[in-house]
Structure 1
Amino acid sequence: MIRKMQLPLQTVNLTLGFMVWVIISALIPFIKEDIALSASQLAIVTAVPVVLGSILRIPLGYYANVFGARIVFLVSFILLLFPVFYISKASSFADLIIGGLFLGIGGAVFSVGVTSLPKYFPKERHGLINGIYGMGNMGTAITTFTAPVIATQVGWSFTVKLYLVLLAIFAVLNLFFGDRQEVKVRTPIMEEIKAIYKNDKLWLFSLFYFITFGSFVAFTVYLPNFLVSHFELDKVDAGMRTAGFIALATFMRPLGGWLGDRFKPLFLLMGVFSGLTAAAILLAFSPSIGLYTIGCLTIAICAGLGNGVIFKLVPQYFSKQAGTVNGIVSMMGGLGGFFPPLMLSIIYSITGQYSIGFMALSQVALASLILVIWLYYQERLKVSDEVFRSTGQGILVTDAKGVIKAVNPAFTKLTGYEEKEVIDHKPSILKSGKQPKAFYDQMWDIIRQTGQWQGEIVNRRKSGQEYRELLTINAVKDQTGEVVRYVGSFSDITSHN
């Protein structure tokens, strides 16, 4: 029963964590009525909670493996009581910075569930499970929608204090219903980092999540104030529109995970970054509220789908270091939400518009699209190389002039020649002299006419021993019909005679 409760429990844990994480950004229109804040200070105050919420994801993901999700969630909620209470008493910019920094713990708990939950389910469901857990992002929508409504009635300070009650309740829930028997992994964190930091996929996935989750966080923290100041909407209306953005992105996340379980994740990411590029270009032209809404909703859809797909890819490639990798990737996503609001604020203060910032987003999304395409074809090449090197048949590849350019390990095993000994030589290095010149002339006539030849031939190993092989030669042509290389594959059939 306890094991079955982990998915719903950890999902609502994440929901609460994200509710707390965005308290300041959701209530900033009310807070700035009591605390004087400049435009740059507003940007810093809303972005600061993202800093610790991003950096802490690495240790929290690691310790979720070491101690289990129950302990990490419990301790996190207890620690969050202090900054929440401090913010409720804030009276200055410095108070908001100090309290907001430690609110980051609420965002950092994300890496706990994506590390813990895959232990309870088969690999073919990891995309969907992490997607469902990721719906805890809805916590940002709940706070963004409800906090302004409550603050209108009781004030922003008392609204913040209500979160103390929720944190205490959830600390108790984790104490009693968290899984005490969760499988623990105690590999030293530095060993895990050494094992993964040179892997290019770690940094590519980090970049992709930087864009997708970063877009989600950036729009979440920036939209409430932006809609009020730029389109002159009232605070509750701005909160509801932001909540709609968050809700759409959140519900797209499990869909992205589910699709990642059933289709090629890299293909899905190509669609995600194409959509982000187009939507950001639309926003760069400072459209009306109608077109602005379409652009934002497109970003919500693409960001949500991308978030789900990426956390299908992580356990697929890093099953043994999932905790640390989840922490690094999700940290980069959190940082992706820190920089855009600051950049937009700086750009706006210099130019008086946001177009350049949105155009920058489109270009980064376009670069990510190109990298996904590159990664997809790299994967295909890797599979081809694995087949080439693992097959039991000897294989040699020559250029159009018949000069050897590559051989596989089976070639070395069958002939005795190392790769460096035959590269840039012709296959005649293997000749035994048993076949007359007319044999080879006829063989090449057939290859030129049909593009293929198969037959038996006697060759000589490096040791001088003769052996009989079944040889197949195929001509490889380009799109114009010109031969660009020849591929020969053979097997030793001496014992068959």
Structure 2
Amino acid sequence: MQDAKKVQLPLQTVSLVLGFMVWVILSSLMPYIKEDIELTSSQLAWVTAVPVLIGSVMRIPYGYWTNRHGARRLFMISFALLLAPVFWVSRADSFGDLIVGGAFLGIGGAVFSVGVTSLPKYYPKERHGFVNGIYGIGNLGTAISAFGAPALASSIGWSRTVMLYSVALVLLAGCNFLLGDRKETPVRTPIMEQIKAVSRSEKLWFLCLFYFLTFGSFVAFTVYLPNFLVSHFDLDKVDAGMRTAGFIALATAMRPIGGWLGDRYNPFKILMLVFAGLTAAAILLSFSPSIALYTVGCLTVALCAGTGNGTIFKLVPLYFTKQAGIANGMISAMGGLGGFFPPLLLTAIYGLTGQYSIGFMALAQIALASFVLVNWMFFQDKLTLSAHVLENTIEAILITDTNGVITSVNPAFTAITGYSADEAVGRKPSILKSGKQDKGFYDEMWRSLREKGYWQGEIWNRRKNGEIYLEWLSVTAIRNEAEEVKNYAGMFSDIGSNRRTVEG
């Protein structure tokens, strides 16, 4: 049983490599296919985009089915089903044939949801980012097709090249049958119940946007580059394929690094750098630079997109422990859709204006908006943590403004004093005065606050029911960046009851 678990990461990663190889057959071989099948620029864009669309949408049920039936069955069935569209595409002689075959090739992209849902079951949370990053190396399948398929097609023709994929599909289906985990823990929550549970979270939609941008950039450039480099820079087909493969290889290599960085450091800070880099790269590309600067821009996109792809899935199990399958499916589906729309948009923009600049500027704006949202989530996360500490600490806490009016209290304050938040907020801490300290005591307290910024010591206070108790009180002046006092925070505990317990 333990051996079966150990083999799942390499087995599922290799399975994803093959799935992605099949997913991008059409875009990888398009320079050859369009020589035999006459296609308009619009038809060409649709042929390469349809597998991306179907593969993206199918990721949602694939995440759910993986939880119910396990990765072994999903990979086996998927590879068996892909044999039919591979054969169909190899015999295609029209735009309609390519669309029909391409729709079913989308299964190759949908299998991405299998591993990101299955593999975290075998590892502790602190390794989820790195594990999903290793699995994401399966993106290398697109590089293998982008580089290898054109090289083969130049020797044996594109039709025979497509048919060779069926051999790999049969082999990997057999490997999953023999080595896949037959006892993977199932999750049987109904799909609509899971969708409703996760869709209410704003964090899900932010992660969807981020992955729409990072994985979408990766897929869109993978689909768009081979044909663009040939038509725009007059490169030969094999050279264009090698450059596209280089883009894919860099993005793929950065994925586990992004996952590792997400495990080791704050993932929000990593994403800030990712979206800042994507913004700069997209602005550079929008100026239609020379091939040298264009290469710099594309490689920066690969660097940032790959890092972001690995980091984002570190956040999923942190927010969606019980609905990880459906959350992974929805987020990865949005990533795939991010690869569907840009090539169509770029084609439409090029048809209207004769250039791609507007499309790249749109990418820069979305990346900049994502940068702003990540910053907001980062500080929101810190505020949420602070709120949880405030709510759950056993010490009573009250916050006042500079006039000494209470603005906030925590549940422990109510437990010790008897005053609810509604009763305390808007009033002054003098509601707790016992009368056992004279004016000099409080004058000394305020002198210490003004000079040192804090005061602490024992003080007698009175509960709502009139009972007098002894507490240990710490008061701290809270200053802003200009060193101006904006609030006072008091933290106290009932030490009188503790003393009575010890003495008793």
Residue matched to 2:221: 219
Q: How far 1:319 moved relative to its partner?
A: 2.3
Q: CA 1:480–1:127 in structure 2 vs 1: closer, same or farther (change >3 Å)?
A: closer
Letter in 2 for 1:354: Y
Cα distance in 1 between the residues matched to 2:125 and 2:384: 22
1:275-286 equivalences in 2 (<5 Å): 275-286=277-288
Residue matched to 1:417: 419
Cα-Cα RMSD = 1.4
Residue matched to 1:393: 395
Residue matched to 2:109: 107
User: Once the two structures are superposed, what CA deviation does each residue of 1:398-442 show, in whole Å capped at 9, x if it has no partner?
Assistant: 111111100001001001111011111111222233333343333
Q: How far 1:446 moved relative to its partner?
A: 3.0
Please point out which of 342, 346, 349 is paired with 2:344: 342
Structure 1 position 124 matched with structure 2 position 126: yes
Structure 1 position 80 matched with structure 2 position 82: yes
Residue matched to 2:65: 63
Residue matched to 1:155: 157
Residue matched to 2:469: 467
Q: SS where residue 6 of structure 2 aligns?
A: coil
Cα distance in 2 between the residues matched to 1:140 and 1:421: 63
Q: How far 1:171 moved relative to its partner?
A: 1.5
Please point out which of 169, 176, 179 is paired with 1:177: 179
Please point out which of 76, 97, 122 is paired with 2:99: 97
Cα distance in 2 between the residues matched to 1:5 and 1:481: 57
Residue matched to 1:407: 409
Residue matched to 1:381: 383
Residue matched to 2:266: 264
Fraction of identical pairs, as percent = 66
Q: How far 1:84 moved relative to its partner?
A: 1.4
Please point out which of 167, 173, 178 is paired with 1:165: 167
Cα distance in 1 between the residues matched to 2:5 and 2:477: 58
Residue matched to 1:448: 450
Please point out which of 484, 487, 491 is paired with 2:486: 484
Any runs of at least 4 consecutive aligned residues in structure 1 with deviations exceeding 6 A, and if so which? none
1:15-94 equivalences in 2 (<5 Å): 15-94=17-96
Cα distance in 2 between the residues matched to 1:393 and 1:493: 11
User: Once the two structures are superposed, what CA deviation does each residue of 1:436-486 show, in whole Å capped at 9, x if it has no partner?
Assistant: 334333332332232222232222212222222222211122233322111
1:190-201 equivalences in 2 (<5 Å): 190-201=192-203
372-381 or 398-407: which moved more? Answer: 372-381
Letter in 2 for 1:71: R
Residue matched to 1:313: 315
Letter in 2 for 1:480: A
Q: SS where residue 106 of structure 2 aligns?
A: helix
Letter in 1 for 2:265: F
Cα distance in 1 between the residues matched to 2:9 and 2:488: 55
Letter in 2 for 1:221: V
Cα distance in 2 between the residues matched to 1:154 and 1:102: 24
Residue matched to 1:303: 305
Residue matched to 2:332: 330
Q: How far 1:362 moved relative to its partner?
A: 1.0
1:222-233 equivalences in 2 (<5 Å): 222-233=224-235
Cα distance in 1 between the residues matched to 2:477 and 2:130: 45
Q: How far 1:143 moved relative to its partner?
A: 0.8
Q: How far 1:35 moved relative to its partner?
A: 1.6
Q: SS where residue 337 of structure 1 aligns?
A: helix
User: Once the two structures are superposed, what CA deviation does each residue of 1:194-222 show, in whole Å capped at 9, x if it has no partner?
Assistant: 22212222111111111111000000000
Cα distance in 1 between the residues matched to 2:160 and 2:360: 36
Q: How far 1:368 moved relative to its partner?
A: 0.9
Structure 2: where are the runs of 5+ without partners? none
Please report the TM-score for the alignment, with normalisation by the length of structure 1. Answer: 0.97
Please point out which of 359, 362, 368 is paired with 1:360: 362
Q: SS where residue 402 of structure 1 aligns?
A: coil
Question: Aligned residue pairs: how many?
Answer: 497
Structure 1: where are the runs of 5+ without partners? none
Q: SS where residue 488 of structure 1 aligns?
A: strand
Cα distance in 2 between the residues matched to 1:194 and 1:335: 21
